[in-house]
Amino acid sequence: MNFYGLFGESLVHSFSPSLHKMIYQKIGMDAAYKLFAFPPSQLKSAIDGIQTLSIKGVNVTIPYKEAVMPYLDEIDPFAKKLGAVNTIENVNGKLIGHNTDYSGFGLIINRRNWDVKGKTAVVLGSGGAAKTVEAYLIDHGIKQLYIASRTPERFEDTKNKRYTNYEEAEKLSGDYLINTTPIGMYPNVKDSPLSETSIQRFDYLIDLIYNPSETAFLKLGQKNNKQTANGLDMLVGQAIRAVEIWGNCSIDEQITEQLLSEWKGRQGESL
């Protein structure tokens, strides 16, 4: 049996073990998946533990998607371009970083037949997940992109991308409003990254949080008749791609749809 897991600082919200168990059962993979929660000061020790304990691979979540990169032996070109790693593969003691969030975010957009080409988007957050969302939107023709950060001065604006603070973000309008921050995540489920007044100025709301399935942010969107999506499709999509990397295999799209249907049925969600 091979062992896999998830690295993060606070993982009480994570559905990953149950989801990975379903994937392994679907494809007949002899594997187990565990949670590894630890503070930032123990990151290097945790990375060393992958090799010491012969863990075959791990996923990486907040706040380590960028921080893990200096400790890896190799980073695939795509993850290097994105500037974030969410999947680590252990190949005979060599640790290789990948990014599967990109395809996971794409699943949110594609399953709803939404189009980002020529649109304006505001992304809340500037961490590893935000970088992935930013890359996807630019690759798929977004016209104008605003990224809200607590420290916008750290970043450089480009022709169609501008960094701003949250106070200014409250005044923006556009087509897509995307939350990549942990604001609203369990147990702080009453928090929203922006006010209802701001939310009213957008048509589509995406929250990468999946627990709770309906955040305060998305509830405000639904109250104002906006189209909304949480992060469950992204969770499933990135998990499947991670398993494909670890197992050197290809998982049929039909299995992806089965997993989404069964998982959302368990959570009481509609497709």
Could you report the per-residue pLDDT of 130-154, keeping only the tens digit for each? 999 999 999 999 999 999 999 999 9
List pLDDT tens digits, range 12-54: 878 899 999 999 999 999 999 999 999 999 999 999 999 999 9
Whether 56 is a known active-site residue: answer: no
The active-site residue, picked from 44, 56, 65, 131, is: 65
Q: What is the DSSP string of 131-152?
A: HHHHHHHHHTT-SEEEEE-S-G
**Do 168 and 149 contact (CB within 8 A), yes or no?**
no
76-110 burial code (b ≥16 CB/10 A, e <16): beebeebbbbbbbbbeeeebbbbbbbbbbbbbbbe
Q: What is the DSSP string of 75-90?
A: E-HHHHHHT---EEEE
Residue 186 has pLDDT above 90, yes or no: no
Q: Give the pLDDT confidence score for residue 269 in this predicted structure.
A: 54
Residue 268 has pLDDT above 60, yes or no: no
Percentage with pLDDT > 90 across the chain: 87
> Which distant-in-sequence residues (6+ apart) come within 8 Å of 64 by Cβ?
7, 8, 9, 40, 43
List pLDDT tens digits, range 101-126: 999 999 999 999 999 999 999 999 99
Domains of the chain: 2-99+233-267 (3.40.50.10860), 114-230 (3.40.50.720)
The residue-averaged pLDDT of 157-173 equals 95
Q: Give the pLDDT confidence score for residue 134 in this predicted structure.
A: 95
